[in-house]
């Protein structure tokens, strides 16, 4: 078997895999910077109760509820919102329904060039919608996310020294039913408690349940991420399925209807997520819907509670809006940290991430952490790599004799292959010896690729000199060019394929990879360069030891 043909096939398969991922149309990352516009004007008219809005889940049919549209709510100026600021969140809440229509993350700037502009996770523009909604469902009159609520104040800021900030919005029914919707923000936290305090002042029982959902349009890829694959879409977690991605096309084809104890729902994108986390002790109903736009909805409903006349009750859930910081997510809900999606090889990727994080803790620079981790991985595979390079060196040593066999047997491939096998046997060469060790290492390299791509800590992480953001491409393309040079050196060290066409393709591979990797995050290219340099050093030593000293032991 021609070892170069096998190696070339593996390389081409990996390139095709990366190309396929890069051009996925069903996934993408929402633009990192949304135009700063005033929130869309909201109507102050009470929500109608005869027919629910298209994006409101159907009310429980068995509930015996009483109520009516909200009355007594003071008419609010159109478009006015409740503005809430903490140390890590800047949120705008619509008094109509208490909908979170905008959420900025001050600790995560849009880019290194715009450090004062926070990343906008939730937002609403004429073209793009991404909001968090919640409300109550009953047979009649329960305040859903279209009901008009009355805020206690319009501007809130977490005071210095306080660890908690509460934002209350009130709703009053016509027959004595009252609801207070409370958002509780915490210092240093992206997790917000959303609670409904219920007061059934009517003379009848009232059955009600809470729903919480995320609604968004399908976003387009930004220029920074158009050449890499990252998942954007829905996700759900249940005890039976810890992390189940639900794409926008799946939402359109088959709406989700699932009951499960605990769990959560989320909208996932590169580096950031929003998620609703209900009580983990209750059995909740999970659903997806698609409404005109198209707007994609993923949500949950809590169990129904029954309030007797004159009694009080409580319903609640938690809303996360922030980065994929795995340590924090793991403490919030089971499997929520899996939204930092390392793919099917997560069991390899997770130890690599933990190692990278530990090294960063010691050296304080993510670029150097990548370099050190790459060296450690290379050391772990040193013997396997040595076996591969030793086999290639032996092939290189007998190349003149292989060329002579080709000239002797001409077009008789059967006889030439037989002669090659005899040559391999005589020289104790395993034609697969140069490939199998590489195949064994491929899962580790792919896992590290996903770690470097999905780890939010690398976003806008500086390295040195002109590289001030390891998550985006090298602005001057220096790293991709260096990577191409290292690949060219590696090609020169490898045995030259006997097939002239194959040899030309091998020589063009470094150029192809250079162009392809020019648009990849610089952290990934840095890893590839270091790996190539270590491989070149090891391969050069073994090759010259065997080729220059034919009597040296194998």
CATH assignment, 82-339: 2.70.98.90
Which range has the worst mean pLDDT, 30-44, 171-185, 345-359? 30-44
Asked if pLDDT for residue 398 goes beyond 50, the answer is yes
Residue 424's pLDDT is what? 75
Q: Give the dihedral sign, CA 456/457/461/464.
A: negative
Asked if pLDDT for residue 208 goes beyond 80, the answer is yes
Mean pLDDT over 350-379 rounds to 94
| Residues 6+ positions from 241 with CB-CB distance below 8 Å | none
Give the Cα separation of 201 and 190 in Å (integer).
Answer: 35
**Nearest C-alpha neighbor of 177 from the set 204, 137, 147, 150:** 204
Give the Cα separation of 493 and 237 in Å (integer).
Answer: 49
Give the Cα separation of 496 and 500 in Å (integer).
Answer: 9
Residue 498's pLDDT is what? 59
Would you call 74 helix, strand, or coil by DSSP? coil
Q: How confident is the model at residue 385 (pLDDT cuts 50, 70, 90)?
A: confident
Give the Cα separation of 134 and 147 in Å (integer).
Answer: 11
The neighbour count for residue 548, using CB atoms within 10 Å, is 10
Kindly report the three-state secondary structure assignment for every residue of 276-345: EECCCCCEEEEEEEEECCCEEEEEEECCCEEECCCCEEEEEEEEEEEECCHHHHHHHCCCHHHHCCCHHH
Asked if pLDDT for residue 29 goes beyond 50, the answer is no
Q: How confident is the model at residue 434 (pLDDT cuts 50, 70, 90)?
A: low
Give the Cα separation of 260 and 238 in Å (integer).
Answer: 6
Give the Cα separation of 465 and 328 in Å (integer).
Answer: 32
Residue 441's pLDDT is what? 74
Q: In whole numbers, what is the pLDDT of the chain averaged over residues?
A: 82
Go through 120-133 and write b for each residue having 16 or more CB atoms within 10 A of its CB, e for each that does not. Answer: bbbbbbeebbbbbb
> In 149-297, where does DSSP find H-type helix?
248-253
Asked if pLDDT for residue 444 goes beyond 80, the answer is yes
Q: How confident is the model at residue 6 (pLDDT cuts 50, 70, 90)?
A: very low
Q: Give the dihedral sign, CA 355/360/361/363.
A: positive
Q: Tell me the per-residue pLDDT of 230-281, one tens digit each, with 9 for 90 and over.
A: 899 999 999 999 999 999 999 999 999 999 999 999 999 999 999 999 999 9
Which range has the worst mean pLDDT, 278-287, 400-409, 445-454? 400-409
Q: How confident is the model at residue 39 (pLDDT cuts 50, 70, 90)?
A: very low
Give the Cα separation of 237 and 277 in Å (integer).
Answer: 10
Asked if pLDDT for residue 453 goes beyond 90, the answer is no
Element (H, E) at 452: helix 436-454
Report CA 392 to chain centroid distance, whole Å.
39
Asked if pLDDT for residue 355 goes beyond 90, the answer is yes
Residue 49's pLDDT is what? 34
Residue 5's pLDDT is what? 45
Residue 404's pLDDT is what? 79
Residue 413's pLDDT is what? 74
**Nearest C-alpha neighbor of 133 from the set 58, 51, 211, 42:** 211
Which range has the worst mean pLDDT, 264-268, 317-321, 344-348? 344-348
And the tokens for 553?
């032991």
Which of 88-97, 375-384, 406-415, 441-450 shows the highest mean pLDDT?
88-97
Give the Cα separation of 311 and 81 in Å (integer).
Answer: 32
The neighbour count for residue 446, using CB atoms within 10 Å, is 18
DSSP state of 472: S
Residue 152's pLDDT is what? 96
Task: Give me the percent of the chain exceeding a pLDDT of 90.
Answer: 53
Asked if pLDDT for residue 431 goes beyond 70, the answer is no
Would you call 16 helix, strand, or coil by DSSP? helix
Give the Cα separation of 311 and 256 in Å (integer).
Answer: 34
Residue 546's pLDDT is what? 60
Q: Give the dihedral sign, CA 97/216/87/188.
A: positive
Residue 24's pLDDT is what? 41
Asked if pLDDT for residue 412 goes beyond 70, the answer is yes
Rounded to the nearest 5°, which phi and psi values hold at 167? -120, 120
Residue 127's pLDDT is what? 86
Which of 63-67, 390-394, 468-472 shows the highest mean pLDDT?
468-472
**Nearest C-alpha neighbor of 146 from the set 212, 99, 88, 191:** 99
Which range has the worst mean pLDDT, 294-308, 487-501, 513-527? 487-501
And the tokens for 260?
């499960």
Mean pLDDT over 275-294 rounds to 94
Asked if pLDDT for residue 44 goes beyond 50, the answer is no
Residue 513's pLDDT is what? 84
Mean pLDDT over 301-310 rounds to 94
| Residue 488 or 322, more confident | 322
For residues 191 and 295, the answer to whether their CB atoms sit within 8 Å is no
| Residue 451 or 62, more confident | 451
For residues 309 and 108, the answer to whether their CB atoms sit within 8 Å is no
| Residues 6+ positions from 465 with CB-CB distance below 8 Å | none
Residues paired with residue 299 on neighbouring β-strands, in sequence order: 213, 287
**Nearest C-alpha neighbor of 172 from the set 181, 184, 163:** 181
Residue 30's pLDDT is what? 37
Give the Cα separation of 310 and 307 in Å (integer).
Answer: 8
| Residue 430 or 509, more confident | 509
Which range has the worst mean pLDDT, 254-258, 274-278, 287-291, 435-439? 435-439
The neighbour count for residue 32, using CB atoms within 10 Å, is 22
The neighbour count for residue 45, using CB atoms within 10 Å, is 11
Domain positions in the chain: 3-24+349-547, 82-339
| Residues 6+ positions from 412 with CB-CB distance below 8 Å | none
Q: How confident is the model at residue 53 (pLDDT cuts 50, 70, 90)?
A: low
| Overall residue count recorded for the chain in this entry | 554
Mean pLDDT over 379-396 rounds to 76
Give the Cα separation of 321 and 319 in Å (integer).
Answer: 7
**Nearest C-alpha neighbor of 456 from the set 271, 331, 303:** 271
Exposed/middle/buried for 46, CB within 10 Å: 0-12, 13-18, 19+? middle
Residue 554's pLDDT is what? 39
């Amino acid at each position: 078997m021609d070892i170069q043909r096998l190696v070339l096939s593996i390389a081409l398969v990996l390139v095709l895999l990366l190309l396929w991922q890069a051009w996925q149309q069903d996934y993408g990352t929402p633009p990192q910077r949304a135009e700063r516009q005033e929130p869309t004007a909201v109507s102050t008219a009470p929500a109608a109760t005869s027919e629910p809005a298209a994006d409101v889940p159907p009310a429980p049919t068995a509930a015996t509820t009483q109520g009516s549209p909200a009355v007594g709510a003071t008419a609010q100026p159109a478009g006015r919102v409740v503005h809430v600021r903490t140390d890590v969140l800047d949120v705008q809440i619509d008094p109509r329904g208490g909908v979170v229509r905008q959420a900025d993350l001050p600790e995560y700037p849009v880019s290194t060039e715009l450090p004062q502009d926070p990343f906008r996770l939730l937002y609403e523009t004429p073209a793009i919608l991404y909001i968090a909604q919640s409300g109550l469902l009953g047979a009649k009159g329960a305040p859903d996310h279209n009901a008009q609520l009355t805020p206690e104040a319009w501007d809130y800021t977490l005071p210095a020294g306080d660890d908690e900030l509460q934002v209350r919005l009130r709703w009053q029914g016509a027959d004595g039913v009252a609801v207070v919707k409370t958002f509780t923000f915490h210092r240093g936290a992206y997790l917000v408690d959303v609670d409904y305090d219920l007061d059934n002042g009517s003379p009848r029982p009232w059955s009600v349940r809470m729903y919480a959902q995320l609604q968004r349009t399908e976003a387009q890829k930004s220029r920074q991420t158009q050449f890499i694959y990252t998942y954007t879409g829905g996700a759900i977690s249940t005890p039976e399925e810890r992390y189940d991605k639900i794409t926008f096309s799946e939402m359109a084809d088959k709406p989700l209807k699932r009951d499960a104890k605990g769990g959560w729902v989320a909208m996932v994108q590169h580096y950031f997520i929003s998620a609703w986390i209900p009580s983990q002790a209750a059995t909740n109903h999970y659903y997806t819907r698609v409404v005109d736009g198209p707007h994609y909805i993923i949500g949950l409903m809590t169990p129904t509670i029954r309030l007797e006349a004159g009694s009080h009750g409580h319903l609640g859930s938690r809303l996360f809006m922030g980065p994929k910081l795995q340590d924090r997510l793991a403490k919030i809900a089971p499997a929520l940290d899996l939204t930092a999606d390392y793919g099917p090889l997560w069991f390899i990727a997770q130890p690599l991430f933990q190692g990278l994080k530990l090294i960063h803790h010691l050296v304080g620079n993510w670029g150097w952490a990548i370099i050190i981790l790459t060296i450690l991985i290379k050391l772990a595979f040193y013997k396997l790599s040595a076996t591969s390079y030793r086999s290639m060196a032996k092939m290189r040593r007998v190349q003149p004799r292989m060329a002579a066999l080709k000239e002797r047997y001409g077009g008789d491939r059967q006889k030439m292959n037989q002669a090659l096998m005899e040559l391999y046997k005589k020289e104790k060469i395993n034609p697969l010896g140069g490939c199998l060790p590489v195949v064994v290492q491929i899962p580790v390299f792919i896992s590290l690729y996903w770690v470097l791509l999905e780890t939010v800590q690398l976003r806008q992480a500086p390295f040195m000199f002109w590289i001030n953001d390891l998550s985006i491409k090298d602005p001057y393309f220096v790293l991709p060019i260096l990577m191409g040079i290292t690949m060219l050196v590696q090609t020169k060290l490898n045995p030259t394929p006997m097939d002239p066409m194959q040899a030309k393709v091998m020589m063009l591979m470094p150029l192809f990879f250079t162009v392809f990797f020019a648009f990849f995050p610089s952290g990934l290219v840095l890893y590839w360069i270091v790996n190539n340099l270590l491989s070149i050093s090891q391969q050069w030593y073994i090759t010259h030891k065997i080729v220059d000293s034919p009597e040296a032991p194998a």
